[in-house]
Chain A
Amino acid sequence: MEPVWNGMLTCDYERSRPASTLLEWDLYTTSLIAWPRVLLEDPTPYGRLRRPGIVDIDEPVHLRLVAALEKFLSDPDRVRDLADRTALHREQTASALDQAEQALSDRDVKAADEAIGRGTAAFLKVMSAHIVNWLLPEQQWEDLLSQVLSSRARARDCTLALATPNRTGHLLQAHRLLLEAAASIRDGRPLALAAADVSARAGTLYGAGSPAAAAMPLEDPDRAADLLRTLSSSADPESELASLTGSLDRSAAVREAWETAALLAAGGRPGQLAAVRALSTALAWAADSEERRKELRHRYLSLVRRWCTAREHDATRVTTPDLLALGDGR
């Protein structure tokens, strides 16, 4: 976000994501403009599109909506509801992508079109949940926890620990898949099967950039097989898996310990207690949104690219309106 200029703020993905396709910019700008509707059920658009990749937001609108978001995120019931809705949007996206994948495999063009349309509509809501990470009232949360825990440093440690996702983040999740596949090969599973599985489940995540215009390296099962062959013969995937699991258990325990500390400290003051419960849920929701969105985004972009190939469209020119028009997603 650029600073206020003539009463207006500008969100410039053209600068922050210069290598993006039109679809990638579209996903960001459309979901940015729509976040008040998706999160707060407020129909006010968060700004207007200047051109692909750039959104201008009037400062009074920004201030009003950010204040509304802060108030919304201080209510534990509403935050839990938001987390549930976000999980539902993720499930809807994943389900539509599964169906589109199957339809592409079956060469059922009509079913693929319809599923991609639905997947686009659902995924835009997932993106809206992710996109406001930078609008979260982190300073206000830190101030509150400083008061509750009587220490700014402890408040910061607590805030950071609470921003641990409920489910393993995508980087370690992808690595765990790889280690499990390598371990399964040592247990006798055929390499080709393990490689196909890794390629399908995590292939879009490995490599630089995004799969919007070109495939990521491990989308190719042969490349995944090469990696697994090396990993299963030279490393010790079992002990690495054990170490990874230990670390994840520990980080979850640290998160729970800090949450308990904040609740114990706020106990006896109902307002503070509710606010602590709300921010604890909101921080986990934000971390989960970041991680799960990344997995879905790469999967979605890869699928749309392959759909473009099948339909003889240019993957670098396709837009969200094009894809929403395919289904009932509008």
Chain B
Amino acid sequence: MTPTPLLPLDQAHNAARVGGKAAALARLLRQGLPVPEGLVVPVGTPESAVPILVDRILAWAEGRAPYGLIARSSAVAEDGAAVSFAGMYASRFTPAHSGPLHAAITEVRSSALQPTAQAYARAHGITAALGMAVVIQPALRPTASGVLAAEVLAGRCVRWRIEAVRGLAEPLVSGTQTGEVHSGLRHTAHPVQPAEQRIILMPGAPDELRLPPGEWTTITGVNQDETLAKIKTSQEGVLHLHTPTPWAADPVLSEEHRLALLDSAVVAAAALSLERIDLEWAFTADGTLHLVQARPLTRPLHEARATGRHCEDGWTGIPAVAGTAAGPAVRIGEGTALTGAVLICGALGPEAAGALLEQPAAVVSTTGGPLSHTAIIARELGIPCVTNVKAATAIPSARLIEVNGTEGTVRPVAGIPEQRTERARLDGAAVVLQRLPATAAHDGRAATLLLHSPAEHHPVLPTLTASAEHGTVGVLIVDEDVATPELPGFQVIRLKSLGRLLWPVDGGDVPETLVTVDPNGRVLHSRGLHD
């Protein structure tokens, strides 16, 4: 019996057998570009043959894969000139053990049958079966990785965009993290946009993967600087590490890295006969650049949507104080008046109380939740607030932003929208309160109902004086098990589904609508007397 072929990556010529990704990588390898070595499980390999291949892969991986292996999709239609299938198929990190490796290969192969991939294929007029090969490579432990999109002309990148994160690029590609952005046009490099990366993903060595969250492990940065990083968790062979504090403000890539990437893009584009190229790349601790994927850029660069979240999309956090307001972003200590502005801050101390009394329009905090001290002081002062907007540090001062404290969102706006107050129309309604205010409201209400609370002994029951000042005043008892208070001059009216009402015998008809209003007169809730 002929052994089932397992192709070395550098011999993966035939895209119909090895898929688009493997074929492109093989071409780069043949041009001497730095592609990690690998093996290919070809299209059409029967499932029964996989166990034998797994044994052969593991023998090959001996001594090559200190951080395990990665099984990557390489579909026949993948990485084409018109369609990329980017993000449609699976890639899996796996320890170099037979069971997990077999499972990873099976999972990658079966990702060809995923409904999203099939729908994508149909949408692009691909009706043939989606043949799937699998590329197996040693997992890299990158110091930095990312994507590069470039338009290449006359041996030079004339327009480019690089997005980089520390560690693996997966969170960048999936859009859960914002990478450091380098971009440029011809000879001009635009200012670098910093990354927003709180978690670094890296393949782990077996002893690291046995460490529980909270332990420390040593990692190497792009400048070969070693530091300790705390483990957040680990799963499927990948460590999730909290970004070490000293690294948080450091750039991910140097200019030297950027130039090396652009040079590689030019060579790779030539090797693949492309004018627009999309590369995935990684630097490892020894400073080596690795190209892990290359494909045609299927859209012009200026249309390519950035991965990750960016300023234009706005930011989300935790709703902390209801209300919407807009104003220019300011920070304490900038010498700018806070009145009508949006205060960007971290956790506030009592020193900030005076500033908050200047009545900023809203507060955006980088930390905390709805019960944090910042949220509570904003609530006490009636200032809309969103907390835990980690990326708020990147909001430039003076930029106009709108804060929605109910939704927990912050977004840039072109102007400050006019504030509208929903004044209630109370004509004919009874307003339900827990206590009578010091001064009577003249808002057109037909009556005031005091809500009787069994625990707090509210309300102070209406008196003739109160009724004289506040108009008709009754008592609403919504608790079934509360005794009806004796109140001379009041009758008890049983409501169909709301409890009982103590109503002045000379109070006339009971209003059909009951409402509650906030101090601005906005109706918070309304219901019919017999609902």
Contacts and interface: CB of A to CB of B under 8 A. Distances in A.
Nearest to B522: A257
Given A160-B405, A256-B434, A290-B371, A172 B214 contact: no
* Most chain B CB neighbours (cut-off 10 Å) among A6, A202, A267: A267
Secondary structure at chain A's binding surface: helix, strand, loop or mixed? helix
Contacts of B478: 263-264, 266-268, 273
Contacts of A2: 213-214, 232-233
Contacts of B354: 175, 235, 240
Nearest to A54: B214
B525 A264 contact: yes
* Most chain A CB neighbours (cut-off 10 Å) among B377, B434, B451: B377
Secondary structure at chain B's binding surface: helix, strand, loop or mixed? mixed
A266 B497 CA distance: 10
Given A12-B230, A50-B214, A259-B434, A156 B376 contact: no
A156 B233 contact: no
A74 interface: no
Interface residues of B, number: 60
A163 interface: yes
A250 interface: yes
Nearest to A168: B380
Given A153-B406, A163-B371, A250-B519, A208 B349 contact: yes
Interface residues of A, number: 74
B353 interface: yes
A311 B321 CA distance: 46
A67 interface: no
A211 B518 CA distance: 40
A18 B245 CA distance: 11
A249 to B, nearest CB: 9
Interface in B348-396: 348-354, 357, 369-373, 375-377, 379-382
Contact of A290 (B349, B373, B380): B373
A104 interface: no
B439 to A, nearest CB: 13
* Most chain B CB neighbours (cut-off 10 Å) among A160, A265, A294: A160
Contacts of A294: 373
Nearest to A216: B349
Given A5-B233, A264-B432, A175 B353 contact: yes
Nearest to B374: A171
Nearest to B481: A270
Contacts, number: 183
A258 interface: yes
Interface in B221-267: 230, 232-235, 242, 245
A287 B371 contact: yes
Nearest to A207: B349
Interface string B392-411: 00000000000001110000
A169 B377 contact: yes
Given A2-B232, A164-B380, A267 B455 contact: no
B285 interface: no
Contact of A5 (B234, B351, B379, B527): B234
A15 interface: yes
A56 B212 CA distance: 9
Q: Identify the 10 closest CB pairs spanning chains A and B, nearest first.
A: A175-B353, A267-B478, A157-B322, A261-B525, A174-B350, A261-B524, A2-B213, A268-B497, A261-B516, A10-B213
